[in-house]
Amino acid sequence: MAEEPSEGERRESSDETVVRRDRFSGGPARGFLSSLSDDERIFAADLAVDRAHVVMLAEQGIIEDDVTGEILAALDEIEADGHDALTDGEDVHEAVESAVIERVGPAGGKMHTARSRNDEVAACIRYRMRADLLATIATVIEARQRFVEMALETRGIVMPGYTHLQPAQPTTVGHWIASYEQALQRDTSRLLDAYGRVNQNPLGSAAFAGTPFDVDRERTAELLGFAGVAENSMDASATRDFLVEVTAALANLATTLSGLAEDVIVMASKGHVELADEYSSTSSIMPQKKNPDTLELVRGRSGDATAGLNGLLTNLKGQPRAYNRDLQRAGRHAWDAIDSVTESVEVAAGAVTTAEWPVETLRDAAGEGFSTATGVADLLAMAGMPFRTAHEVVAEAAETLGPEENAPDYETLDAVCADIVGEPLSQFVDREAVEDALDPVQSVAMRDSRGGPAPEAVTEALDTAQQRLDEDGTALAERQDALAAAAAELDSEVESYV
């Protein structure tokens, strides 16, 4: 342990801190250098990090218990006064330290023993991002739950399915929304995965090169709820790759949502869905308009997330070890992305699950453009005709359709079959089976392979989805509980000194 400085030395060193700050940060670039207002985001995180650090310093015998109590009491006051009351400092870390010294006197300067703002800010960002991530994951899980319920309710509503935006095959609203639940399942696991790498303790790395003090990095990890220690001190102070992971997962999530939004926008333009009024907007001039603006904004916000990812990677690229001030501009990309995308998840889920599905319109539309053609070809192939030949027969029959016709009749198919195969259609299938295959509802019911759109297949898939959802809910709750337990432990340690 370092030798205790005398009272005089203490004052001198704290005065020097003040002088140095003025000298380097008080000039015309003061505002440019400052992150104090941005740091509001990590104000509470900074106080927690300070508390855990100070408690650990006391436990290790690095600072005295009475000084510890005074510093911790000052931190409580600073918390009560709020971030806006901070003035003196180019960032929240300096400003909180100044506020502590103002209350405690020079001994308050002991708070910054055995650390640097570099490991401090990294800890604050991780601490705050963790909470934000859990909130986002909770929102995604909630959306998935709503989608699973909606899919169960709408698994019998037949609707047109498209590829290239051209009528392709009939499907159901339930199968469609379940497809997004499935994508959100992967988005959830990417976010949970990123969480594991965010949740590591950089404290104790100091500027980058460690410290001669006998710090206990595992203890600060425990008090802050970090699951482990970011081992190498140079890496721990320098890296922001965990923010890249989070932002990339968010960009992926936002891209999922943008596709969902686009689907609904197209559906709305065709009258295939009726959005609830509260998720619609009107025109200031065209009185009849009801527009899907909420979903257009969900689609547009995917740009916020990809911009965040791009901004972050651009900020980080080529930064040398170990700390550079560029990093002060890194966090904002991730904060912007997570705020924006989390709202998008809520709004998209709200808009989709409150919408009305016009059953008859959708069923009629489901048969448009000879969307049952694949089913007819499948039927012939199931009866022994090579699929390629069946494809040819049905394609030839499709050629005969007029602009208003949705499907060829049995007679047409029969004639084409005789022409191409040399045998009548009845050699392969009876009229009733063909007519069933031409019916969009039957067409859907036939496609009951695993993961397919037939209502029973959707029901089964939703069982699995629900199990997965429950597992993810448990994973979320475990993480939330671990953070709450750590916060309670930190509180009680703090109380024992104050």
Residues 6+ apart with CB under 8 A from 90: 21, 25, 30, 33, 34, 35, 36
Whether 283 sits among the annotated catalytic residues: the reply is yes
Q: Which of 6, 164, 449, 492 is catalytic?
A: 164
Residue among 248, 255, 246, 253 nearest 184 (CA): 253
Q: How far is the CB of 128 from ligand ARG (least distance, A)?
A: 12
Question: Distance (Å, rounded) from C-alpha 361 to C-alpha 267?
Answer: 11
Quote the DSSP letter at residue 39.
G
Q: Which of 13, 269, 283, 496 is catalytic?
A: 283
Please measure the distance between the N-terminal and C-terminal CA atoms of the chain and give it in whole angstroms: 24
Q: How far is the CB of 275 from ligand ARG (least distance, A)?
A: 42
Containing 169, the helix (H) or strand (E) segment is strand 166-172
Q: How far is the CB of 194 from ligand ARG (least distance, A)?
A: 20
Site residues (vs ligand ARG, CB under 6 A): 35, 91, 117-118, 121, 323, 325, 327-328
Which C-beta is closer to ligand ARG: that of 252 or that of 328? 328
Which C-beta is closer to ligand ARG: that of 244 or that of 458? 244
Question: Distance (Å, rounded) from C-alpha 471 to C-alpha 16?
Answer: 55
CA–centroid distance for 389 within its chain: 47
Q: How far is the CB of 94 from ligand ARG (least distance, A)?
A: 8
> CB 434: neighbour CB atoms within 10 A?
24
Which C-beta is closer to ligand ARG: that of 109 or that of 408? 109
The DSSP result for 134-146, as a single string, is: HHHHHHHHHHHHH
Describe the crossing of helices 173-198 and 117-154 by its angle, rounded to 10 degrees. Answer: 160
Which C-beta is closer to ligand ARG: that of 96 or that of 327? 327
Residue 363, token pair as written in the block: 């069923």
Q: Is 354:279 a contact under the CB 8 Å cutoff? A: yes
Whether 175 sits among the annotated catalytic residues: the reply is no
Q: How far is the CB of 61 from ligand ARG (least distance, A)?
A: 28
Which C-beta is closer to ligand ARG: that of 121 or that of 183? 121
Q: Which positions are annotated as active-site residues?
A: 164, 283
